[in-house]
């Protein structure tokens, strides 16, 4: 059986703690959004640098996905990157990650 933790606030009802927790969570959400945007810009630069790179047997570069986003989506939806519909929707929703000359 699991234990239930009920805090015993010595001064008031813990509203200061909850306000601090909310501020902390909001800060980290904003930070994650900023870092995700920064990673997308770096991936865009990488995709533009590579141009329409082609490799023997691999075909044309379709998109450059930052590793953190790739693993996060794979954790949430295992095997999603093998699903062509998911990849099409991901490219549609993140045009900055598409390779040079790849149509939406």
Structure pTM? 0.57
In this structure, are residues 58 and 26 in contact, taking their beta carbons and an 8 Å threshold?
no
pLDDT digits (tens, 9 = 90+) for 70-80: 998 999 999 99
The domain limits of the chain are: 15-97
CB 100 within 8 A of CB 60: no
Identify which of 100, 3, 87, 84 has the alpha carbon closest to the alpha carbon of residue 52: 100
CA-CA distance, 18 to 23, in Å (whole number)? 9
The CA distance from 102 to 99, in Å, is: 6
Dihedral angle computed from the Cα positions of residues 18, 23, 25 and 31, in that order, rounded to the nearest 10 degrees: -170
pLDDT cut 90: percent of the chain above it: 20
| Residue range 44-64, pLDDT digits in tens | 787 777 666 666 666 777 888
């Amino acid at each position: 059986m699991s234990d239930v933790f009920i805090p015993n606030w010595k001064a008031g009802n813990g509203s200061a703690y909850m306000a601090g927790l909310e501020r902390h969570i909001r800060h980290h959400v904003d930070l994650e959004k900023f870092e995700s945007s920064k990673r997308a810009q770096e991936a865009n630069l990488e995709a533009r640098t590579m141009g329409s790179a082609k490799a023997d047997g691999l075909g044309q570069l379709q998109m450059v996905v930052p590793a953190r986003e790739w693993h996060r989506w794979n954790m949430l939806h295992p095997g999603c990157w093998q699903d062509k519909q998911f990849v099409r929707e991901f490219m549609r929703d993140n045009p900055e990650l598409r390779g040079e000359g790849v149509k939406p």
